[in-house]
Amino acid sequence: MKKVFKYGLMLLGGIIGLIGVAVAAMYWSDFPRYDTSIPTLTIDYTPTRVERGRKLASMLCVECHQNPETKQITGRLMFDLPPEFGTVYTKNITQHPTKGIGAWSDGELVSMLRTGIHPKTGRAVPPYMIKLPMMADEDVFSIIAWLRSSDPMVQPLDVDNTPSSPSLLTKFLMRVVIKPFAYPTKPIVLPDSNNKVALGKYLVSNLGCNDCHAADVTKVNALEIEKTPGFMGGGSNWTDVNRKVLYAANITFDVETGIGSWSEADFRRAMHDGIRPDGKPLLYPMERKVQLTDHEISSIYAYLKTAPPLKNSRKPAEEYTLAADASAGLKVYTKYGCQRCHGESGLGIGDLRQADKKYPNDSTLTDVIKHSSKYFPETVMIQWDGIIKEEEYAPLCAHVRELGRKASTRASR
Ligand code: HEC
Ligand code: HEC
Ligand code: HEC
């Protein structure tokens, strides 16, 4: 009896040891690699495509690849990635021949964006890099035309890539859950833009709404979006630039917990201006989309109406707590969620640390805060005019200046 017990223990010990080795192997190993065949194709970089590509990329690529300091798509730390995925940097995708993608062929770019397999290494591309398996050929080609264009944001810049350290969870997901997409066997055409529901579905599939507004990001069905569990019902967790948690909202037409009581005008204001019907700003990473036309927004609204309404109450975002002696300016900065994009130091997806020097008097600085679109036409920053109270601008400007001064004393030390 005793012997059986002893062997049993040894066996158990062995199994635990093996599991340990398997976990360690997964941890130390890289993402899986796959065979990939690169299509031979040459894209015509017409001005129409460059313009269309710029619009698409400004909604889909720039937010992750633009570095707030270089202002170009040279890559940045993904401080807005939930920490369980690890420490991740996006890459330099300017036209630089070795550090960027200047030497990639059009076929290599299309292949990677479609399938999620790196064309040079065969390495699978992690879940936090976008894939476009359903986007029309014309739109994918347009994004590439923009990457090849003379736009200042894509010009070659000699900036090294910083290696990422994805977590064990990410590696596990990459081995077990996430599989690359097959390269499309047929051309993918644009939807009929007169058919609002079809256009809306196309935009919801391709602008990330489906990924973010699902119940669980790891269970998103990108090919048949309506089969995504909790489709448009929200609930998945996201983080702002300080890694404070917030949850995707329910955007089905459930009247109590979704947007069932929103008029089309309410929805347009939320999408275009980033302001909800209750006057509150949408919090980052939900970014307003000034690039969308009224017809496109109206089409998304029409399509969302066709999704089955789900009951799922809004979960409040994680709050910031301030010290009792916080300045009036810091209070305003926090109240409106400036720190969710600009960080507590002034540097986040946008950098406001130069604003003190650039706009030496408060009336200009106030104007920049109120109407930033006048200065940065496609900015995701909310137009604060009418939202922030007039008496709050003076302390807010003082705080912005304070952040600028703190940054310059740090830099000169
Ligand atoms: C949510 C953030 C995110 C978005 C949005 C995003 N990317 Fe990326 N991208 C990444 C990350 C992270 C990597 C690095 C992946 C890795 O470590 O393998 C990457 C890598 C790449 C690479 C590979 C570069 C190289 O040298 O290996 C290319 C090309 C690229 N992205 C293009 C794009 C384009 C084009 C878009 C818009 C259609 C886009 N990305 C949108 C995060 C993003
Ligand atoms: C990066 C993830 C992400 C993407 C992409 C995204 N959303 Fe959101 N969305 C969120 C989060 C998080 C919230 C909650 C923000 C808050 O708490 O203020 C939200 C809120 C909203 C709201 C406000 C709902 C309410 O009740 O307050 C609407 C409407 C909305 N999103 C529509 C869309 C549409 C349409 C798309 C695609 C064009 C989209 N979102 C893309 C993450 C995302
Ligand atoms: C949704 C994200 C977001 C929020 C919220 C936000 N900003 Fe910004 N802001 C940006 C981005 C991005 C830029 C850089 C301009 C650009 O290229 O879009 C910017 C630019 C600025 C600038 C100009 C910087 C310069 O160098 O010209 C100032 C000043 C500024 N923001 C202040 C604020 C204040 C104050 C708040 C809060 C009331 C705020 N922002 C909220 C994203 C945001």
The alpha carbon of 306 is separated from its chain's Cα centroid by a whole number of angstroms, namely 25
- Dihedrals φ, ψ of 57, to 5°? -65, -30
pLDDT of 413 strictly over 60: no
Residue 45, classed as helix, strand or coil, is coil
Q: What b-and-e string marks burial along 301-321, b requiring 16 or more CB atoms within 10 Å of the CB?
A: bbbbbebebbebeeeebeebe
Model pTM score:
0.93
**What's the pLDDT tens digit per position in 285-296?**
999 999 999 999
Reported as a pLDDT band with limits 50, 70 and 90, residue 26 is low
Size (the chain), residues: 413
Domains 196-306 and 328-412 share a fold: yes
Give 396: exposed, middle or buried? Use CB within 10 Å, 0-12, 13-18, 19+: buried
Residue nearest to atom 18 of ligand 1 (CA): 125
**What's the pLDDT tens digit per position in 392-412?**
999 999 999 999 999 988 765
Report the separation in Å between the CA atom of 57 and the middle of ligand 2, taken as the mean of its atom positions.
18
Reported as a pLDDT band with limits 50, 70 and 90, residue 27 is low
Average pLDDT over residues 106-124: 97
Q: Evaluate whether 252 touches 303 at the Cβ level (below 8 Å).
A: no
Report the separation in Å between the CA atom of 128 and the middle of ligand 3, taken as the mean of its atom positions.
24
Q: Evaluate whether 108 touches 116 at the Cβ level (below 8 Å).
A: no
Q: What's the rounded Cα separation, in Å, for the pair 44 and 365?
A: 43
Residue nearest to atom 38 of ligand 1 (CA): 61
Q: Which two tokens stand for residue 353?
A: 């640390």
Per-residue model confidence (pLDDT) at position 409:
83
Domain 196-306 in this protein, CATH class: mainly alpha
Residue 89, classed as helix, strand or coil, is strand
Report the relative pairing of strands 237-239 and 165-166 from DSSP bridges: unpaired
Residue nearest to atom 41 of ligand 3 (CA): 338
Q: Which residue has the higher pLDDT, 68 or 200?
A: 200
Report the separation in Å between the CA atom of 381 and the middle of ligand 3, taken as the mean of its atom positions.
5
State what percent of residues in the chain have pLDDT above 90. 85
Q: Taking the domains of the chain in order of start, what are their residue ranges?
A: 47-176, 196-306, 328-412
Q: What b-and-e string marks burial along 328-351, b requiring 16 or more CB atoms within 10 Å of the CB?
A: ebbebbbebbbbbbbbebbbbbbb
**What's the pLDDT tens digit per position in 368-389?**
999 999 999 889 999 999 999 9
pLDDT of 29 strictly over 90: no
Q: Which two tokens stand for residue 146?
A: 């923009």
Q: What's the rounded Cα separation, in Å, for the pair 248 and 226?
A: 17
Domain 328-412 in this protein, CATH class: mainly alpha
Per-residue model confidence (pLDDT) at position 11:
80
